Amino acid sequence: MPVVPGAEAFTSEGGRVGVLLVHGFTGSPASLRPWGEYLAANGLTVSCPRLPGHGTRWQDLNLTRWQDWYAEIDRAFGELRRRVDEVFVMGLSMGGTLTLRLAEQRADEITGLVLVNPSILTENRAFRLIPLLKHVLPSIKGISNDIKKPGVDEVAYKHTPLRAAASLGELWKVTLPDLGKVTMPVLFYRSSEDHIVEAANAHEIQSRLGTSDVREVVLHDSYHVATLDNDAPTIFAGSLAFVRELSSVEV
């Protein structure tokens, strides 16, 4: 299927420090493009892949599983790693979950992580029904555009495909027990008002990480898609400062 305009993957050649950006569930690289452009303008090499099943039509997402999404970011990471000296990985929402899984598997190859409202669980009891509902319902109402700033569109699906949502739950289950393997510094952005990912996610993730260098920043003027919201400049500048502090290569 053709890619929706604005949802395309993007890359930008810069210096010897690379950043892999990972978008969220039912979303697209559009939610991270301004962030990526900011980092690229400041001398970083940036890669933001489009996860399989995303950015086309929601039915395509039901044909994929978390292993497909992870395989794509692992491929993109390997390709980026060959072009630069150091890599930072940054993810939004489920992109944060995939970022954590990648860090569990490639801890020695990643200098630092930046997470924006990552997910690892849900307190919504209805989610427990999805493994059953997926056999009778292809989708439910979507979760897109939880953005406080008016007039912003993250280019995401208006439906939540249930087979894919069930697989997201499986990704949480495999990622959670291995969070102790995440040993690099983590910059953690959390919106104080988030209608998609509950605050319990931040506590659960931070309490299990295998690093003592976790820097939490609470965003008070953004909802879930904070990378396109009022606090986006805070995320952009803070992530760049994080890279410059930790990188052994001049940025």
Q: Which residues contact residue 40 at a Cβ distance below 8 angstroms, ignoring those fewer than 6 apart?
A: 12, 14, 46
Active site residue 194: yes
Active-site residue flag, 224: yes
> Roughly what angle, to the nearest 10 degrees, separates helices 66-81 and 162-175?
60
Q: Look up 93 and say whether it is catalytic.
A: yes
How far, in Å, CA of 170 to CA of 154, rounded? 25
**Cβ atoms 39, 178 nearer than 8 A:** no
Looking at 31, 47, 194, 229, which residue is catalytic? 194
Q: Where are the alpha helices (DSSP H) in the chain?
A: 33-41, 58-61, 66-81, 94-105, 130-133, 162-175, 200-208, 232-246
CA–CA gap between residue 127 and residue 169 (Å, rounded): 9
Q: Within a 10 A sphere around the Cβ of 51, how many other Cβ atoms? A: 28
Distance CA 203, CA 120 (A): 10
CA distance 242 to 44: 13
Q: Which of 93, 119, 191, 222 is catalytic?
A: 93
Candidates 224, 229, 231, 247; catalytic one: 224
- Which residue do the tokens 């978008």 mark? 23
Residues labelled as active-site residues: 93, 194, 224
